[in-house]
Structure 1
């Protein structure tokens, strides 16, 4: 089979703003045409669930600059090096043993046990936000719910002052733009500027935490001793990462999930009548419209993935949204079914880089959705949703509803 048509289809997938329908039909066509695609540049692109899961767990694959995505537009090398220079020194882009050292310092704050201890505070924040919507006829579910809830939760966990959170959140959106395959020089430049601003802010905040530590994660980072001590860039980068990862995926989970429920009134009614389905519903919503669509790896040592022999330096791109709609794993994958049984989706990745905050994001969604639809049983669309551009981070900029 010629790879050129499949490679052109891949480029279309990576460059298109897919909007309400998402990239899923294009994924299906790519999977049917070339489920294991080796591009002319030597990158391996995977769309099947089993192949993606195996690649993410393969210890011969790791993180490097190449895993930031396919550079489909010209970006000066100096600018590429400058952008995300501290972010790239975090656990997200490090391999063992550094990865284990960086993750160990904060991992205990995200265990299922600790997440359960946070449940009461999360529910209180949800109730406060829903109280603020009471008596309203319309609302934007992104700016008034999907964004402020996880920003508030991670802000409390880290110890970011309330007054600073609305300043830092928009900078995160600029910071992660280079993770999009089609990021251009302007986006990378904005990311570099955003990282500089975030680094300056968190450097000051970490200094305060070091002098007057409290019971929060930033204080733990700032006062680490012995084997856990981080250098300045690692400390600042980790603070930025934890704040960014704490809300970016969860905001998309809430927004994408609510949009999917509004498009499937039978499933919305089922969840209203059976709130005990909440945890399973979150898993299905994560699968159905995946918040993070791609995950990249770089080959660290010779290995074989999906039947392809790989050498160090090659890039492996796993299309998580495609894996989550693989009909070999999920019958009728394009249908939303809150009672669906089957394997856990790959929405939070897999292997050593499995999302640290997965249990927290799941808990936030499981507590929010039943409360929202119980408080506003007639919730319905009130205009066209606005989707953010890009592929890697699939989410809404606006979701107007009638309450």
Structure 2
């Protein structure tokens, strides 16, 4: 007997899924209610084609769709207070403001420009792998998956090296408020974290304005001087670029290594065929996506997945479910790094497609073959520890034996 729709939805969004992930719960929801309209008017989509269509539909946009999805009883005032600067960034804005904010930094993240960073990224990877080689047991998250993207985006932005490690946990506290399961304590911590990040980046941007360098924060500081950005937009964009520059990439690396360790045949194949790195990254992104959900708000009356929607309604796309849709990906629960034509929705789609996707992919393409080649006996030292929450799916610890 099929479980009631709300029970299936709560099992998918609020349960602690651990290593197995939410995919069995997603499958049950997709098979029973692929377009589920909740009592609060939220449309939850889990098929690939429906999710892709929603993310690309210009009649849908960004408003306050991330505020709980109607699944919690958190006071709305606290929900709105959390990340109020963050919400003034391109991530939560619609045209024309979205283009104005994105245009300021978009050229730095184009595939062509990102390729110019390859040599520096490889140097960082090799240095971090050297550190792992010196230890009998290493934590992939703390010693590789986190410091690599933090340092890459820190260099691009111009964030001093000594400040990066302190800012990273504040970002984690901030993005936790985007989880469907976020509670009052999570949002309170998010408010405190945003205030601390805002103070730091305000001071750093002021310093860049007085003494500019060849980095992104100096560009933002100059844009502020031309009234292109107001204060909150400038600081919020700095926080967004730093957060987005490592949060999803850390999860990509951690989830990817965990997947390869649990599929030794695929790890051996990548070791033998490093030319498969690009398809392997796409497959790892599909198999266990670093971001599992993406929301939109209806701006104009429209019809999606056979359901009429009015302005103000929220559409929640389950990216992880879409990436395991058998109508789009044959044998979707099988990890196959030779899979071709893979276009996962892990970075979203449409005008809000992740700006840093080319950079994240390049870091993965360079890292995974080097890791499995450098450490042919790589094995788990203990059970992986997964972070709570589902929207941002990742590990807090992944301890391995490298020799």
Q: Which TM-score band applies after superposition, normalised by the shorter structure?
A: over 0.9
Q: What does the per-residue CA deviation read over 1:22-44, in whole Å, with 9 as the maximum and x for residues that have no partner?
A: 00011111011011111111111
Distance in 1, matches of 2:259 and 2:351, equals 30
Q: How does 1:235-250 map to 2 (within 5 A)?
A: 235-250=234-249
Secondary structure of residue in 1 paired with 2:138: strand
Q: How does 1:341-380 map to 2 (within 5 A)?
A: 341-380=340-379
When the two structures are superposed, what TM-score results if normalisation uses the length of structure 1? 0.98
Could you tell me whether the CA contact under 8 Å between 2:220 and 2:234 is conserved in 1?
A: yes
Secondary structure of residue in 2 paired with 1:368: helix
Could you tell me whether the CA contact under 8 Å between 1:253 and 1:285 is conserved in 2?
A: yes
Deviation at 1:71, TM superposition (A): 4.1
Q: In the alignment, what sits opposite 1:315?
A: 314
Q: Which runs of 5+ in 2 are unaligned?
A: none
Could you tell me whether the CA contact under 8 Å between 2:283 and 2:342 is conserved in 1?
A: no
1:150 aligns with 2:184: no
Q: In the alignment, what sits opposite 2:23?
A: 24
Could you tell me whether the CA contact under 8 Å between 1:67 and 1:298 is conserved in 2?
A: no
When the two structures are superposed, what TM-score results if normalisation uses the length of structure 2? 0.98
Q: In the alignment, what sits opposite 1:11?
A: 10
Deviation at 1:17, TM superposition (A): 1.1
1:327 aligns with 2:345: no
Q: 1:202 to 1:315 in 2, by over 3 A?
A: same
Q: How does 1:168-317 map to 2 (within 5 A)?
A: 168-224=167-223, 229-317=228-316
Could you tell me whether the CA contact under 8 Å between 1:102 and 1:228 is conserved in 2?
A: no
Q: After the TM superposition, which parts of structure 1 deviate over 2 Å for at least 4 consecutive aligned residues?
A: 66-69, 71-74, 225-228
Deviation at 1:135, TM superposition (A): 2.9
Could you tell me whether the CA contact under 8 Å between 2:224 and 2:231 is conserved in 1?
A: no
Q: In the alignment, what sits opposite 2:161?
A: 162
Q: In the alignment, what sits opposite 1:86?
A: 85
Distance in 2, matches of 1:68 and 1:247, equals 23
Could you tell me whether the CA contact under 8 Å between 2:48 and 2:322 is conserved in 1?
A: yes
Distance in 2, matches of 1:95 and 1:227, equals 22
Distance in 1, matches of 2:84 and 2:137, equals 42
Q: What does the per-residue CA deviation read over 1:120-165, in whole Å, with 9 as the maximum and x for residues that have no partner?
A: 1111110111111223221000000000000000000000000000
Could you tell me whether the CA contact under 8 Å between 2:224 and 2:234 is conserved in 1?
A: no
Distance in 1, matches of 2:172 and 2:182, equals 13
What's the Cα RMSD here? 1.4
Distance in 2, matches of 1:15 and 1:364, equals 31
Could you tell me whether the CA contact under 8 Å between 1:330 and 1:342 is conserved in 2?
A: no
Report the more deviating stretch, 371-380 or 68-77. Answer: 68-77
Q: Which runs of 5+ in 1 are unaligned?
A: none
Distance in 2, matches of 1:312 and 1:139, equals 50
1:37 aligns with 2:36: yes
Distance in 2, matches of 1:322 and 1:55, equals 14
